[in-house]
């Protein structure tokens, strides 16, 4: 099985551990030290033999021009999450090409990160830390915030998505009530997750913490509106490990800067240097670190390796991308 690393040079060393690289070289006919960051630079004769493209962040799009030069292509194994940029419509239109992604593996650290912030938000950790820092003396935390604590706290998850489901599963071991809003997932499935399906208005109004896990698709942009944020109770927290486009940032900023809501924002790579959120005591801002980083990349490499092992053995893929649902998923 002839495979090619169609990715920026050096990425394969970050995605695959030395042991994983050895296994990859055992499973497929592949030059593990060589990548093709630009498919137009690969000779026709070589592309004509390639059956599997292993792709990742920054990979070239497998567009119609590339496809005509890849007559034997039968699989694209993506070592990262969304395949939106690597796998254009031309791939789905040609058909017969299995596409897999490591989105499930990438969901693991995002869910861990969201869980950690949900629990810290229940403890009102950010507000308490800011208050302590300002007063420079301890005080009884419950005196300043009677709603503090995770016993019986209500956690609202927006989206029973891959990450949303993992977060709900994690939350089962805590004494919290979980609400989920998702127009595409039924109440029965949500009950199986130990949660209750509600409409967005109820979720925002009742939750101590709202954690966003919906995809960035046309129907979700701006879904976290000023009206929904206004329904959140004073002192509660909004956590965004999803995407910035889903949220009315002006409305959220007003609430957080005014000190009414706390926010955890893992996704704002476009905040202006003078944005008041930087100095807002109730804003936790991290530079998109919820997803896989550092050693977590080897979990993604491991998922890709599993797909290559299956392809080599003639088994069905474990994490195929469903081209028919690509407008609904991240």
What is the contact surface with ligand NAD in residues (CB under 6 A)? 81, 103, 106-107, 110, 158-164, 181-185, 213-216, 219-220, 223, 241-243, 266-267, 288, 290-291, 328-330
For residue 230, the minimal CB distance to ligand NAD (Å) is 18
For residue 22, the minimal CB distance to ligand NAD (Å) is 28
Backbone dihedral angles phi then psi of residue 261, each to the nearest 5 degrees? -120, 155
In the bound state with ligand NAD, the residue whose beta carbon lies nearer, of 7 and 242, is 242
In the bound state with ligand NAD, the residue whose beta carbon lies nearer, of 4 and 167, is 167
DSSP 166-226: HHHHHHTTSS-EEEEE-TTS-HHHHHHTT-EE--HHHHHHH-SEEEE----SGGGTT-B-H
In the bound state with ligand NAD, the residue whose beta carbon lies nearer, of 24 and 165, is 165
**Residue 262 CA: distances (Å) to CA of 48, 233, 253:** 55, 11, 10
For residue 287, the minimal CB distance to ligand NAD (Å) is 10
3-state secondary structure of 2: strand
For residue 297, the minimal CB distance to ligand NAD (Å) is 12
Q: Which residues on neighbouring strands pair with residue 156, listed in sequence order?
A: 179, 210
In the bound state with ligand NAD, the residue whose beta carbon lies nearer, of 138 and 218, is 218
For residue 109, the minimal CB distance to ligand NAD (Å) is 8
In the bound state with ligand NAD, the residue whose beta carbon lies nearer, of 16 and 268, is 268
For residue 158, the minimal CB distance to ligand NAD (Å) is 5
Question: 82 Cβ partners below 8 Å, 6+ apart?
Answer: 101, 103, 330
Nearest one of 114, 112, 118 to 207, comparing CA atoms: 118
In the bound state with ligand NAD, the residue whose beta carbon lies nearer, of 64 and 328, is 328
Instruction: Quote the crossing angle between the two packed helices 103-122 and 125-135, to the nearest 10°.
Output: 50
Q: Which residues on neighbouring strands pair with residue 197, listed in sequence order?
A: 180
Residue 276's CB is within 10 A of a number of other CB atoms, namely: 13
In the bound state with ligand NAD, the residue whose beta carbon lies nearer, of 163 and 297, is 163
For residue 218, the minimal CB distance to ligand NAD (Å) is 10
Closest residue to ligand NAD, based on beta-carbon distance: 291
For residue 138, the minimal CB distance to ligand NAD (Å) is 34
Question: 231 Cβ partners below 8 Å, 6+ apart?
Answer: 201, 204, 205
Taking a C-beta distance cutoff of 8 angstroms, is the pair 157, 111 a contact?
Answer: no
In the bound state with ligand NAD, the residue whose beta carbon lies nearer, of 60 and 164, is 164
Distance (Å, whole) CA 184 – CA 63 = 31
């Amino acid at each position: 099985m002839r495979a090619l690393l169609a990715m920026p040079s050096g990425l394969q060393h970050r995605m695959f551990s030395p042991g994983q690289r050895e296994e990859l070289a055992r499973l497929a006919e592949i030059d593990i030290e060589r990548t093709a960051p630009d498919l137009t630079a690969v000779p026709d004769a070589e592309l004509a033999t390639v059956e599997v493209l292993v792709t990742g962040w920054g990979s070239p799009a497998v567009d119609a021009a590339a496809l005509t030069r890849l007559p034997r292509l039968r699989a694209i194994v993506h070592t990262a999450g969304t395949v939106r940029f690597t796998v254009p419509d031309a791939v789905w239109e040609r058909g017969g090409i299995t596409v897999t992604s490591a989105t499930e593996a990438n969901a693991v650290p995002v869910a861990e990160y969201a869980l950690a912030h949900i629990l810290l938000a229940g403890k009102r950790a950010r507000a308490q830390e800011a208050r302590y820092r300002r007063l420079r003396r301890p005080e009884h935390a419950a005196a300043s915030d009677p709603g503090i604590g995770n016993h019986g706290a209500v956690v609202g998850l927006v989206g029973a998505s891959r990450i949303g489901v993992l977060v709900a599963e994690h939350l089962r071991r805590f004494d919290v009530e979980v609400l989920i809003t998702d127009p595409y997932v039924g109440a029965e499935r949500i009950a199986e997750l130990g949660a209750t399906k509600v409409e967005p208005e109820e979720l925002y109004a009742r939750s101590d913490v709202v954690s966003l896990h919906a995809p960035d698709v046309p129907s979700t942009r701006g879904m976290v509106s000023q009206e929904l944020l206004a329904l959140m109770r004073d002192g509660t927290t909004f956590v965004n490990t999803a995407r910035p486009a889903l949220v009315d940032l002006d409305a959220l900023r007003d609430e957080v800067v005014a000190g009414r809501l706390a926010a955890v924002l893992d996704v704002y790579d476009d905040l202006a240097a003078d944005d008041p959120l930087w100095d807002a005591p109730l804003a936790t801002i991290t530079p998109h670190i919820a997803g896989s980083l550092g050693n977590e990349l080897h979990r993604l490499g491991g998922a890709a390796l599993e797909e290559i092992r299956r392809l080599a053995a003639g088994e069905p893929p474990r994490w195929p991308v469903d081209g028919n649902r690509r407008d609904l998923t991240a």
